[in-house]
Each structure stands twice: as C-alpha cells, then as structure tokens.
Amino acid sequence: MTDCVFCNIINKTIPSQPVFENGNLLVINDINPKAPVHLLVVPKKHINGIHTLAAGDEALAGELIFVAKQMAEKFGVGESGYKLVFNVGRDGGQVVPHLHLHLLGGRQLAE
Ligand code: 5GP
Ligand code: ZN
C-alpha cells in the first residue's frame, strides 16, 4: 500500500531506525511518545487493523504480543509494568490504518 505510512516505513521509502525487526514485524519508537517508553509493534503484512484480521493471521497476532513482551523486558519496563493497546477503528481512536500494537511504559498508566 503505497499511501500507507507504516508500509512505507517497512519498505524503507520512509527512513526509520527500528529497535527490532524480524521476518514478520518491525518495532519502532512512536513519533509522538505518550510515555517514556512508547513503541509500536507493526506487522510487515498490511492489515488495516484488528477488525480486519482474517483466518490465517492468528499466529501473527500472537507474535505481536509476544514480541511486545520481549521489548518490554529489553527496554526496562518488564518488572515495573506497561500497557499494551490496540486502537481499533474510528471509535477506538485508530489514526493509522495499518495494524499496530502500542507498548507504553515508564510511568503510571492506570486511569
Ligand atoms: P493509532 O491512533 O492509529 O493507534 O496510533 C498511531 C500512532 O502512530 C500514533 O501514536 C502516532 O504518533 C504514530 N505515528 C504516526 N505516524 C508515524 C510515523 O511516521 N512514524 C512513527 N514512528 N510513528 C508514527
Ligand atoms: Zn500498511
């Protein structure tokens, strides 16, 4: 998807400095961080969001969560705790229509 910001980060049209990458996903720092640690776990496959996950995407969805857990440890919030957030669709506050998992930590995030 050439007009998708995260696809363009993944295909390197937009330069970025991923903090982690494997064959299925990329982890980047959020450009507008809401917490001392604010990472985005982004699948390389373009999926609009949780609402368009399809049969066959189960393992990828699980991998996003597992890698987020690993990143929390790597970035020092594994013990203090953190929040994992999928914003879904308009009412969910999703702005970028490419599936991503927010990892937020390093401050109190309870509401
Ligand atoms: P959403 O509301 O869609 O769940 O969140 C999208 C997130 O992507 C926002 O937190 C926003 O700051 C972040 N973001 C938007 N554009 C870019 C970008 O070009 N690079 C990075 N690293 N983050 C972005
Ligand atoms: Zn995309």
87 CB less than 6 Å from ligand 1?
yes
pLDDT for 13-46, tens place per residue? 999 999 999 999 999 999 999 999 999 999 999 9
Mutate to test the pocket of ligand 1, among 3, 8, 31 (most ligand atoms within 8 A of CB): 31
Residue 98: DSSP 8-state = S
Torsion of Cα atoms, 94 then 96 then 102 then 106, to 10°: -100
91 CB less than 6 Å from ligand 1?
no
Is 111 a residue whose pLDDT tops 90? Answer: no
Q: Which fold has domain 5-105?
A: HIT family, subunit A (3.30.428)
Both tokens of 27, joined, read 């982890």
SS3 category, 25? strand
pLDDT above 70: percentage of residues in the chain:
99
